[in-house]
Structure 1
């Protein structure tokens, strides 16, 4: 039986106009980026050649999909974070608990090292900072809309600072995910405890 490599599949795809991109090749390339970053490779030093080698495809295959490293990193970060969650829309508290719990699941644990490797790049590279923000904003907006709805229906204070409240909810979550900043705070019930602590000041 003849085995078709990811690169061969990508070439066949390129030779057939109108065919969709090879999903296996796309996934392998994205996963290669995330594996290299989680292994300690800095985003600045990451090369398209290294990604291609890790994914088992030719460099041309990578460039046919992403014109440059920045575009590839945006897609890798979006893939790492996954699609934005969809709140039920019935309870502000329950929606916030769901969002915080989603930031602390096994998937986020797995990619914690990737985020840690990106932090130095975000601090020194305005371009990488913009890339990261563009990938994060759709998820951030989900939480923003939950809080806006809470203010509109009277569950939350009318003068609530929405952006600061988002930071109060997300900051501790990120600190515990990346650094386990305070080991005395238990993982069990973390999302509920954090949301309830913030809502004590935010509730109408």
Structure 2
């Protein structure tokens, strides 16, 4: 993917200052169109510009292309990942597992399930997804490594497998609503406590 890096923070030449209101309108228009069922392939800069009430040039002054804009829009959809306190491996894992599949924007319930097949079909869209999710994965990786270093977790722990064991059930429940009787409010604690039984140092 050639243009997944956002140009939103790129240095700007002197001239008319960019409008934060226009930036927000463009991002919101992108999310609205996705929520209405438009696929990534079908989504066009022309349609986004028309919905946002701006010209195409306004978008291209801010983002290098559609993929860069999508990256910022989907980051907005998910919000800022939580920051572990660093006092308790268990508490930090509960915090991070609770953030898996959680989005601050209600449109995510319509957008995210529709993106799954597109991510599976397209290497470029898969890379876009990885770009968004890797910072969150890194937070969990750091917590697990801290647990290994402190002796709380097994020295031979497979970090990536442990992350999959912790994250998988939350993705299944929140994206696919797999089991209606599972209480989403306490599920992160139940997952972490269950998985930690196998991860703790003996």
With the shorter chain as reference, the TM-score category is 0.7 to 0.9
Structure 1 residues 180-195: aligned runs within 5 Å: 180-195=177-192
Q: Which residue of 2 aligns with 1:165?
A: 162
Give yes or no for contact 2:81–2:99 (8 Å, CA) kept in 1: no
Unaligned runs of 5+ residues in structure 1 are: 1-13
Total equivalences in the alignment: 190
- The TM-score with structure 2 as length reference comes to 0.87
Root-mean-square deviation (CA), in Å?
Answer: 1.9
Give yes or no for contact 2:140–2:163 (8 Å, CA) kept in 1: yes
Q: In structure 1, which of residues 64, 69, 90 is the aligned counterpart of residue 66 of structure 2?
A: 69
Unaligned runs of 5+ residues in structure 2 are: 1-11
Give yes or no for contact 1:29–1:52 (8 Å, CA) kept in 2: yes
- The TM-score with structure 1 as length reference comes to 0.86
1:202 equivalent in alignment to 2:165: no
Deviation, 1:141, is: 0.3
1:24 equivalent in alignment to 2:42: no
> Highest Rg: 1 or 2?
1
Give CA deviations for 1:133-183 in whole Å, capped at 9, x if unaligned. 011111110011000000000111111111011111111111111111122
Q: In structure 2, which of residues 126, 129, 142 is the aligned counterpart of residue 129 of structure 1?
A: 126
Q: Which residue of 2 aligns with 1:146?
A: 143
Deviation, 1:103, is: 3.1
Moved runs in structure 1, 4+ residues, more than 4 A? none
